[in-house]
Amino acid sequence: MEIKRLFLIAIWVIISVAGMAQNGVIKGTITDAITKETLVGATIYIEGTTKGTMSDLDGNFSLNNMPLGNHILVCSYISYDKIEKEITVKNGETIEVSFQLSGTSVSVDEVTVSARRNPESETILMMEQKNSLMSTQTVGAQELSRKGVSDAEGAVTKISGISKQQGVKNVFVRGLGDRYNTTTLNGFILPSEDPEYKNISLDFFTNDMIQTVTVSKVFSASMNGDVGGALIDIKSKELNSDGEFNIGVSSSLNSQTAGVDLFLPDGMTSFGYSNASDGPYNNLTDYSFNTSLDSKRVNNPYNLNINVSGGKRFLNKHRFFLAGAMSNDNTYEQGVLREITATDAANPFMDMSYKRFEKKSSIMAMGGIELNIDNIKLAYNSLYIHSGSAYYADLYGKHSELFQIADEFNSEGLVRRQQINDNSIFINQLILQGIWSKRVKYNFGVSLNRITGMEPDRRIFRFPSLGGGKVQLARAENRNERFNSEITETALIPKFNIQYKLSEEPENRSYIEIGYDSRISNKEFSAQIYNHTWNPNVISPIFDRNNVTLDAYINQDALSLSNFNLEYFNDTYDVVRNMHGSYIDLIYQLNNSLILNVGLRGDYVYTKINYEVNRGANIGNDTFKGVFISPSLNVKYILNDKNHLRMGASRTNTLPQDKEISPFVYQGFDGLENGNPELEISNNYNVDIKWDHYLSDNEMFSLNGFYKYILNPIARVDQGNSAGIKTFDNVSDHAIAAGVEAELRKELLSFAQNHTINLGINASYIYSKIELDPQWFVQNTTSTLEGAAPYIFNADLTYNMVSGKFSMNSAFVVNYLSDKVHTIGTRGYNNLIEESLTTLDFINTIKINKHLGIGFKAMNLLNPEFNLTREGADGSVPSVVTHSYKKGVSFDLGITYKL
């Protein structure tokens, strides 16, 4: 009832104010006189005034609330002749004025638009945001470069209300994590490469392939219904000029990798592909692994990035674009891992220090072609991304459960973990858009995605301490293993919509749209576990803890002599998920100032999971199906050209992730997790109100308030056992998330005609609360949402200088996240808290001329310590740090060349 009452009051206020709208409106379209293409970013203004705007992505423009009388309307665009037209504005009337511009060789020094058809620019994207009915936030390639962002994950964390949680892939939006968000590429849903997550890892998408990243925190019927936090859409690069060719090379070094002995596991090529074998399967007398158990030393751990892109417009209307990139990144960290019991926080049962070195390599290739024939646009996009990583870690210290045999040596021991991840995604998209008549448009698309995620030959061996710096290979069961896993998913994603314009008047935006989309996917997971158990009648090898070499003791000869034996387990599960959605969306323009969007969506969901996991301990299947209705309402009211109000209200749903309903236990670097087949769907009620104040074409201030009421919220919780396993549960009957977001983009100073200093700030306050069942949550009967940082702050200060063909751009970028809940404690445990964090980056780019540029980045200059902490149940001891490490400072130097 509270949501309904708030919604009705907001609608009444907006409609009441709308009745006061007066003055006249000027609207029209800007096109090329020869090609008839619409021109994006043309400047239209009333001569002698500051009233003006820019044409949108369809070449349209609108000047609302124009003063009455006779005026001269001016249209200008780079490389085109300026046109002036005399017009007369009358009260309450709309004037349609269109311009067809012809090319020119006249100097364009005073034109405010920097390039022809550049949807990556910050000015164009702000204009798109201004013209949008719904509240969205978009980051383009230009802003990514200015802020030193290297991938889509970094892009979205610069947006208000979005944060990143350490040790967790992807982002939290307004306190809602991976399961509550949806990721798309060019509007098509993407599967995940990792069985642990619903969404594909955003760092898959590097800035070499990104044109824009758009975050929609407000929902309409045309969007996927399985969302509660945000829909994140990545638009792949396309040609924005008549032709181009770009090449870039950069190298970087992390401060923590210099002067350190670094090691990697055997089994990954220099390009990031695994060459490890699957092992002998159930032939337990054959030790046919082709990778070493001993690590290899890494020399010169410098990072390298190479990217090439280019495209061409042909036959005036058609275009193609190709891009490729490869990179590697080396990191080293030292830290601590601890686990405490609920009743004895002062005496952790695990207290280990570790050293970990990791190398990541990626390869990207993409291509797209667009054909424009009369009123039809046909586009094909293909994308291949491969991401490989390998890490080597030694952990030494106390672990009361793993090293009980070393009780006389404080239950200390060594854990050696070597892991490789080999992930790839292949995406093919076909898009057909057309105009059937003056009133009818249609859009058809289909995407075929194939994702493979492999973890080949993960090696974990444990060595209890003997004292005096000596360790001995563990002999008990389930202490030493080699592990292979592979997950594949094939998804077919068709969609179709047809749009009928309710008026032939070009200035009237009213239309009705009906559409259908679906996701038909099949996911298969398999894992082979080879348990190594040492023969109790044979003394297991003893090593100096700093010089452990296993190949001489774990091999075919030793297996044949029965020094150890193998146990083989094969864990499998498969998921069939079919989602079919249909919707109807009405956009209705009541007058020049007020636009309404009312929509209704229905989704049919069928999910079936079959599993045989945890070495045969869990066998079964679960089926989930249902129909879910998602209504939505969005309102935009234009107070005047500089002030826009938007409101959104919707009901959406959140399905549990596949891994959250599978009982498979996954062993990560910092702990164990397993799923819960009893999870129920979450229902989300969303209300959002936003005010945008546009100071100029590239300056703005916005204030955004939101409220979310979530039924049956899902969260990660402790199982409360000695193994430290975490699982997932509907932790309450409801949860609340509400808050305020503010953003400012302002030019602080402009001097000597070619020097500017600009400031960008966004800040968020998020209030969240869950009422927990006291039967299980003894210590925490209330909690904030997992991953919901109450305070988030981002800022960038940028200096720009232009002198002829030379330009320089320097920026400081800062980010602050307050303390937040990492894991909700249960069965006597307090919440696990991720402590506040502040980061600072410096980015400098120089364009020497129109062809050559250089760049320098210094990232993570403050090098803060990442800490997870937890208090004991009785509060008798201060918070215990359960995980702590630093990332180091990275320095990057690069060069670019453009034709």
pLDDT number for residue 791: 94
Cβ–Cβ < 8 Å for 538, 473: no
Question: Within 10 Å of residue 128's Cβ, how many Cβ atoms?
Answer: 19
Q: What is the domain partition of the chain in residue ranges? A: 1-115, 244-334+344-350+361-898
Q: Where are the alpha helices (DSSP H) in 82-215?
A: 122-131, 141-146, 152-156
Residue 311: the pLDDT is 93
Q: What gap in Å lies between CA 708 and CA 483, rounded to an integer?
A: 42
578 with 627: CB under 8 angstroms? Answer: no
597-648 per-position pLDDT tens digit = 999 999 999 989 888 887 777 788 888 888 999 999 999 999 998 999 999 9
Q: What is the pLDDT of residue 877?
A: 67
Specify whether the CB–CB gap between 825 and 727 falls below 8 A.
no
First to last CA, the chain: 61
Buried/exposed 1-36: b ≥16 CB within 10 Å, e otherwise: eeeeeebeebeeebeeebeebebbbbbbbbbbeeee
pLDDT score for 46: 82
- Residue 646, H or E segment: strand 643-654
Label residue 288 exposed, middle or buried (CB < 10 Å: 0-12, 13-18, 19+). Answer: exposed
DSSP structural state of residue 777:
-
Inter-residue contact 481 to 564 (CB < 8 Å): no
Q: Tally Cβ neighbours within 10 Å of residue 840.
A: 18
pLDDT of amino acid 451: 92
pLDDT of 621 reads 86
Distances (CA, A) of 857 to 123, 188, 234: 24, 33, 24
Q: 1-115 maps to which CATH number?
A: 2.60.40.1120
pTM, 2 dp: 0.82
List the structure tokens of 586.
């009405």
Half-sphere exposure of 850 (CA within 13 A, CB side): 7
Segments in the chain below pLDDT 50:
1, 3-4, 6-22, 105-117
Task: Please give the pLDDT value at position 481.
Answer: 94
Specify the pLDDT at position 167: 60
- Classify the C-alpha dihedral 612-616-618-620 as positive or negative: positive
Burial bucket for residue 132 (CB in 10 Å: 0-12, 13-18, 19+): middle
The 10 Å CB-count burial string (b at 16+, else e) for 582-597 is bbebebebeebbbbbb
Using CA atoms of 194, 199, 205, 209 in order, give the dihedral in degrees to the nearest 10: 130
Task: Give the pLDDT score at 722.
Answer: 54
Which residue from 399, 324, 328, 398 is spatially nearest to 358, judged by alpha carbons? Answer: 328
**C-alpha of 510 from chain center:** 33
Question: Is the dihedral angle over the CA atoms 549, 410, 667, 154 positive or is it negative?
Answer: negative
Q: 233: which 2 tokens?
A: 């859409």
pLDDT of the residue at 113 = 36
What is residue 17's predicted lDDT score, i.e. its pLDDT? 40
pLDDT tens column, 242-289: 889 999 999 999 999 887 878 999 999 988 999 998 889 889 999 999
Pairwise CA distance, residues 274 & 457, whole Å: 9
What is residue 670's DSSP assignment? T
Residue 9 is predicted with a pLDDT of 46
Q: Which ranges of 290-388 would DSSP assign to H, the alpha helix?
A: none
Cβ proximity of 799 and 819 under 8 Å: no
- pLDDT value at residue 346: 77
What pLDDT score was predicted for residue 103? 64
Return the pLDDT at 12: 44
Q: What are phi and psi for residue 555, nearest 5 degrees?
A: -160, -175
Contacts of residue 30, defined as CB under 8 A and 6 or more positions apart, other chains included, come to: 38, 39, 42, 44, 55, 59, 60, 61, 75, 77, 98, 99, 101
Calpha distance 256→559 (Å, rounded): 40
Separation between Cα atoms, residue 239 and residue 234, nearest integer Å: 16
The CATH superfamily of 244-334+344-350+361-898 is TonB-dependent receptor, beta-barrel domain (2.40.170.20)
